């Protein structure tokens, strides 16, 4: 643990009794005293505070920032209105996903948040691809997520956020300095992600934690919350071996960037992705990300191999994420199977500790999102 980086909230995590673990090169809280199950349930019922300061924060400045960023992602950045945010992903020449990210148009610049494990590569990728744009890594700010149905009420005691809609962004003055706020998150709940000056981060977090609705939440509950919401974890559910069509992320590619759109193509892997998007018929052997519900009580976790029949010799897919879903009350998983086996209620078999157990394909998300539209 001595070689790991820490976030500006590290001392607060220790004070709160967090169990710390290595994650993406950082020492991070996996759970607090109340445990993963109660942290998950509290976030769904009230508000949870997550330290996500390990993630990469990047500013893109310059008149060509939007156009240049469109050369690296299949999303419409030129069409992203000021004050709005969009989910995006970097792709490679084979159509594989290098990382998924959030892009916010703040008017004078674009604010990009990337995954912690990929941030060095992502920043290098941006600097290589955006030759006319200034790419600045933000290293003096923490990033805090406040998620749950009471998140708005809690944050509103500090800054006025009630008029913000889902995926909107704003920079607001506060007693803790200027806060860069987006109404978004990765739990399926209404909530916010807040970038705050490093020196004010602990005081800001303490102010929120003093509120009755707010509890600190660790990585364990963050994972089960995003899994119930059917959201991908990079390096597990998506990576360079999966393209956006296989990952069922085509909803994130706007019409203008699709093969018939006015700004189609022009990003790495556009040939592979474009052909799949425009194909008259689906390749039934191509993989698709699906939800999975084991028929028993034992979770099917990452790495479980899937078979079409209990006695089948050859596997047809694999589980990429799996856990018990505290809100839905049963085990849940995500994984990849051929498109021909991706219909809801298709019965498959997962091999757990040498035994084949039944599992059914399920619709995603496992629990409907409650974003404020």
Please, are residues 329 and 300 in contact by the beta-carbon 8 Å criterion? no
Please, are residues 321 and 332 in contact by the beta-carbon 8 Å criterion? no
Residue 32's region, left for phi above 0, alpha for psi from -120 to 50, else beta, is beta
The string of DSSP codes covering 116-139 is GGGHHHHHHHHHHH-TTSEEEEE-
- CA terminus-to-terminus distance, the chain: 42
Which tokens in the block code for residue 262?
Answer: 């006015």
Measure the CA–CA gap between 276 and 240, rounded to whole angstroms.
Answer: 16
Q: Is 302 annotated as a binding residue?
A: no
In this structure, the dihedral spanned by the alpha carbons of residues 16, 17, 21 and 23, taken in order and rounded to 10 degrees, is: -10
Residue count of the chain, please give it: 373
Q: Position of tokens 């944050």?
A: 155
Closest alpha carbon to 308 in 276, 332, 281, 285? 285
Sort strands 191-197 and 141-147 into parallel, antiparallel or unpaired: antiparallel
Which tokens in the block code for residue 288?
Answer: 């698709």
Phi, psi dihedrals of residue 336, rounded to the nearest 5°: -120, 135
H helices, E strands: number in the chain: 8, 19
Which tokens in the block code for residue 157?
Answer: 């005691």
Phi, psi dihedrals of residue 193, rounded to the nearest 5°: -115, 130
Sort strands 214-216 and 47-51 into parallel, antiparallel or unpaired: parallel
Q: Position of tokens 């330290």?
A: 51
Helix (H, G, I), strand (E, B) or coil at 250: helix
Q: Which residues are annotated as a binding site for substrate?
A: 193
Q: Which residues are annotated as a binding site?
A: 193
């Amino acid at each position: 643990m001595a070689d790991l980086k820490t976030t500006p909230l590290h001392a607060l995590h220790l004070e709160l009794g967090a169990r710390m673990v290595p994650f993406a090169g950082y020492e991070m809280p996996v759970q607090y005293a109340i445990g993963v199950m109660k942290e998950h349930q509290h976030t769904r019922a009230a508000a949870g505070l997550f330290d996500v300061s390990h993630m990469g924060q990047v500013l893109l400045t310059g008149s060509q920032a939007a156009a240049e960023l469109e050369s690296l992602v299949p999303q419409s950045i030129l069409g992203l209105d000021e004050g709005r945010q969009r989910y995006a992903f970097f792709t490679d020449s084979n159509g594989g996903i290098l990382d998924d990210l959030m892009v916010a148009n703040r008017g004078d610049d674009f604010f990009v948040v990337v995954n912690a494990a990929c941030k060095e590569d992502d920043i290098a990728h941006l600097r290589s691809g955006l030759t006319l744009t200034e790419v600045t890594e933000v290293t003096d700010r923490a990033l805090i997520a406040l998620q749950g149905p009471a998140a708005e009420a809690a944050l509103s005691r500090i800054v006025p956020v009630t008029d913000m809609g889902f995926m909107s962004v704003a920079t607001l003055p506060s007693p803790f300095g200027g806060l860069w706020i987006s109404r978004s998150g990765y739990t399926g709940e209404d909530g916010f992600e807040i970038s705050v000056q490093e020196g004010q981060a602990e005081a800001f977090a303490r102010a929120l934690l003093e509120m009755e609705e707010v509890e600190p939440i660790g990585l364990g509950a963050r994972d089960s919350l995003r899994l119930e919401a059917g959201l991908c974890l990079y390096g597990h559910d998506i990576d360079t071996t999966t393209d956006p069509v296989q990952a069922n992320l085509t909803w994130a590619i706007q019409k203008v960037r699709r093969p018939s759109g006015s700004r189609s193509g022009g990003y790495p892997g556009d040939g592979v992705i474009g052909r799949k998007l425009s194909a008259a018929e689906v390749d039934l052997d191509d993989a698709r990300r699906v939800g999975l519900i084991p028929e028993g009580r034992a979770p099917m976790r990452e790495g479980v191999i899937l078979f079409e029949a209990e006695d089948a010799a050859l596997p047809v897919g694999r589980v990429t994420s799996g856990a018990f879903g505290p809100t839905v009350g049963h085990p849940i998983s995500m994984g990849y199977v051929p498109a021909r086996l991706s219909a809801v209620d298709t019965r498959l078999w997962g091999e757990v500790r040498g035994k084949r157990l039944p599992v059914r394909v399920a619709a995603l998300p496992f629990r409907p999102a409650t974003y404020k539209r």
